[in-house]
Structures are given as structure tokens and as C-alpha cells.
């Protein structure tokens, strides 16, 4: 039985997902003397494999039967979109290499928000027939545009901060500035990252089968996460395996001490355009994922590293756990969920930046841009929630009433 949608509750769920996404890197700050690929893959096992199966098993009636009854074509397409989404994540770091952290994130996230929101209803033929003709749909699209504006302001704040940095800090932040190459990579990354939204759209039959088995509306998206994230795990596993081979770092999973392997006494880190993506962001946060030290073998806190990597992975998973809950409450215009998700990530990432004093020492203008970013993004979530609240629950309710036929006509 379907309950009445509650878009404002849905927006709260999306905010919780944004909090999880904006917070998941914090536990990684306590990982010591592991290479990026080691703690990223360790966290990924929890976020892409263990957590999706655990929570779907707890909340889905007959989970194995639901997946077993799903057509192979649906499973394959959903998994494929997960693989493509993983490719988007792997190239995300390159945008920061070529454009810098702020401009790179703004461009990539802008593409992700736009494509992930608008392409599904466009492909289904609903954008011009269901969304645009209705006032509620127009309000939601206004919220989408406001979100895009908020992402642009976030980019302006970041670029303002970068202009205030010393030349040495700028060179460390942007290794190989190349605007044309950066825009091309950001476009590819943004479109591929939006494939997560496409994957959940393709997983519609999985949700329908779950409903037929009596799964509550709030939890019907959880089995779909298993399939999409399996695709993302495949891409990331292959990349991390390559980095383990390249950096000779696979020993770290079991070794209580670091093992100097290069002439400098530390594991080599790739320094080319195919470097590990999230490492680009990680290296800009002091203390994050501290790698093996030079100067001989050093003790490694294995249990603590596994604990914090697992905590980061499960926290990362919760962004999509709450995403599916939020989507279930958005009513007819579920397309707005992706924009709410992106806006919430930006909101809480910005708040974490403030809490970690990343904006300390910047000019008053930069701080005003940060404040404006938060105001605009929060405003976009309110507008989208309002637009969904205005929408009728069914398409039939939205259709104009027809005059009754005259007798004898």
C-alpha cells in the first residue's frame, strides 16, 4: 500500500544523505600510513558491497526472490550504469588537477546535477508533457536552476580563495592547469557521475517487484542500490588493483609496519594524469590518509585503519540509503530528488569546510560568497520541496477535467 507522499519529509531525508556524503571523508582523516588505494578499497567493500546487502536484507521482503524475479535486462542495464557512474568518480579528480579544486568541482557537479535531473524525464518523454506544462513542475525546475546557481556561486567562492593563495600554494593546488582539457574531463566526469541517477531510473522494475512482495514504499529502492553499487565497485576495484600493482602497496592490508620500496624509502605515488582521483582531494586536506613515512619502517595501526575505513564506507553508503527514502516521498516528480541530493552534498561539504577552518584567513568578499552559496542552495531545496508539495499525487489528478458528454451525442 502506497502512503501519501510528503515532499518536505523527503527533503529532510535528502539533507541527511547530504550530511552523510559531506561527512564520509572525516573518518579517513584518522587513517595512518596506508596508501589511498588501500583505504579507499577497504572503505569501498563496506560502502559498495556489505552495507547495501545488509540494509536491503533487513528492510526488503524476500530480497533474493525480488532480485531473482527481476528481468536480466533490467539487472544488466542497472549494473552498466553503475559501472559508468564509477568511471565518473575515477575521472572526477582529474578535473581538480586541470582546473583546480573549486572550478573543477563546480563544473563537474553542475553537469552532474543538470544531466542527472533532466535526462531521465527527457528520455521518458515527460519533461515537455508532464513537467513543463504544470505550475508545480515549473516551480521544481526553478529550484533546479537555483541549485545550479548555488553551485556556480560555490565555484566563485573557491576561485576567490585560490586568487588569495600564495604562488607556491597555487602550484601545489593546481598541478597542471589546462582549461580546455579540464572542461572536457569535467564534462565527461559530470555526465558519467549522473549515471547513478540513470541506474536508479532503470531499476524501476526492481522497485515494482519489491512492492509486489510487500516491501514498504520507503525501502523499495534498497535492492536497486545493490545492483548499481556492484557496478561502481567493479570500476573502483579494477582501478585500485592497478594502483596496488603500480605502487606495490597490496601488502598494507596485513602488514603491521610500512615497507619502504623505493629509493626514497616510501611507496611511490603516481604523478600522471591517470592518478587516483579522490587522492587529488585527499591530499589537500592536512592529515588525510597519511601514507607510508620515509626513514624506514613505521608501525601501522591496522585495527584503527580498518575501523575508520569501514566507518567512512558505511557513512558514504548512507547518502544513497537516505536518497532512496527521500525519492519515495517526492510524489510524481521524483526527478527533483537528484537535484536535492546534489544541493545537500554541497551544503554539508561547505559546512564541513567552515568547521575545519578551510576558509580562515580569506577575504570578506570570499566569506560573503560562501554565505551566499549556503543561502542559495538551502533556498533551492525549499523551492523544490514546495513544488513537489503543489503537485497532484497522480497524473489523472493533474489532467484537466473533461466536460460530460451530452445525451444523444
Distance separating alpha carbons of residues 254 and 250, to the nearest angstrom:
9
At residue 198, φ and ψ (nearest 5 deg) are -65, -40
Whether the Cβ atoms of residue 100 and residue 171 lie closer than 8 Å to each other: no
Entry pTM: 0.79
> Reduced to 3 states, what is the DSSP secondary structure of residue 298?
coil
Distance separating alpha carbons of residues 110 and 217, to the nearest angstrom:
30
Give the model's pLDDT for residue 237: 95
Distance separating alpha carbons of residues 45 and 56, to the nearest angstrom:
16
Beta-bridged to residue 341, according to DSSP, are none
Place of cell 546535477: 113
Give the model's pLDDT for residue 282: 45
Kindly give the confidence (pLDDT) of every residue in the chain, 409 residues in length, as a single tens digit, with 9 standing for 90 and above: 556 778 888 888 988 998 898 888 889 889 998 998 999 999 999 999 999 999 999 999 999 999 999 999 999 999 999 999 999 888 876 776 677 666 677 777 788 888 888 888 887 777 788 888 888 888 888 988 998 898 888 888 888 887 876 666 655 555 566 667 778 888 888 888 889 989 998 999 999 999 999 999 889 999 999 999 999 999 999 999 999 999 899 999 999 988 765 433 333 333 222 333 444 444 444 344 455 555 567 889 999 999 999 999 999 999 999 999 988 887 777 778 888 888 888 888 788 878 877 788 888 998 899 899 999 989 988 888 888 777 665 444 444 444 445 454 4
Burial class (CB in 10 A: 0-12, 13-18, 19+), 97: buried
Ordered by start, the domain boundaries in the chain are 26-134+165-334
Distance separating alpha carbons of residues 152 and 154, to the nearest angstrom:
5
Q: At what angle do helices 7-23 and 364-390 cross, to 10 degrees?
A: 140
Q: In 102-183, which ranges are E strands?
A: none
Amino acid at each position: 500500500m502506497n502512503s501519501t507522499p510528503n515532499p518536505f519529509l523527503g527533503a529532510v531525508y535528502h539533507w541527511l544523505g547530504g550530511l552523510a556524503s559531506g561527512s564520509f571523508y572525516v573518518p579517513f582523516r584518522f587513517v595512518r600510513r596506508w596508501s589511498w588505494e588501500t583505504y579507499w578499497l577497504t572503505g569501498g567493500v563496506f560502502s559498495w558491497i556489505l552495507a547495501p546487502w545488509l540494509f536491503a536484507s533487513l528492510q526488503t521482503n524476500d530480497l533474493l526472490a525480488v532480485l531473482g524475479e527481476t528481468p536480466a535486462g533490467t539487472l544488466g542495464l542497472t549494473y552498466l550504469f553503475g559501472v559508468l557512474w564509477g568511471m565518473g568518480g575515477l575521472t572526477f579528480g582529474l578535473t581538480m588537477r586541470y582546473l583546480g579544486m573549486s572550478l573543477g568541482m563546480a563544473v563537474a557537479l553542475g553537469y552532474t546535477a543538470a544531466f542527472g535531473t533532466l535526462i531521465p524525464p527527457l528520455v521518458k518523454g515527460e519533461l515537455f508533457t508532464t513537467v513543463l506544462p504544470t505550475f508545480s513542475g515549473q516551480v521544481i525546475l526553478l529550484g533546479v536552476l537555483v541549485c545550479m546557481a548555488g553551485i556556480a556561486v560555490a565555484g566563485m567562492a573557491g576561485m576567490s580563495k585560490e586568487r588569495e593563495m600564495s604562488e607556491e600554494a597555487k602550484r601545489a593546488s593546481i598541478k597542471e592547469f589546462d582549461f580546455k582539457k579540464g572542461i572536457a574531463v569535467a564534462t565527461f566526469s559530470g555526465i558519467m557521475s549522473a549515471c547513478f541517477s540513470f541506474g536508479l531510473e532503470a531499476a524501476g522494475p526492481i522497485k515494482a517487484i519489491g512492492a509486489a512482495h510487500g516491501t514498504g514504499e520507503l525501502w523499495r529502492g534498497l535492492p536497486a542500490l545493490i545492483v548499481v553499487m556492484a557496478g561502481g565497485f567493479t570500476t573502483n576495484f579494477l582501478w585500485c588493483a592497478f594502483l596496488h600493482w603500480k605502487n606495490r602497496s597490496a601488502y598494507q592490508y596485513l602488514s603491521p609496519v610500512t615497507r619502504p620500496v623505493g629509493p626514497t624509502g616510501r611507496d611511490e605515488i603516481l604523478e600522471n594524469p591517470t592518478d587516483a582521483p579522490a587522492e587529488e582531494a585527499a591530499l589537500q586536506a592536512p592529515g588525510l590518509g597519511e601514507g607510508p613515512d620515509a626513514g624506514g619502517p613505521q608501525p601501522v595501526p591496522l585495527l584503527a585503519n580498518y575501523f575508520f575505513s569501514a566507518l567512512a564506507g558505511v557513512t558514504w553508503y548512507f547518502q544513497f540509503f537516505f536518497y532512496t527514502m527521500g525519492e519515495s516521498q517526492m510524489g510524481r516528480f521524483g526527478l527533483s530528488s537528484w537535484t536535492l541530493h546534489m544541493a545537500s552534498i554541497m551544503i554539508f561539504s561547505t559546512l564541513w569546510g567552515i568547521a575545519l577552518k578551510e576558509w580562515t584567513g580569506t577575504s570578506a568578499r570570499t566569506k560573503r560568497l560562501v554565505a551566499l552559496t549556503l543561502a542559495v542552495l538551502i533556498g533551492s531545496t525549499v523551492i523544490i520541496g514546495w513544488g513537489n508539495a503543489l503537485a497532484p499525487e497522480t497524473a489523472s489528478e493533474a489532467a484537466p477535467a473533461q466536460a460530460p458528454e451530452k445525451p444523444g451525442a
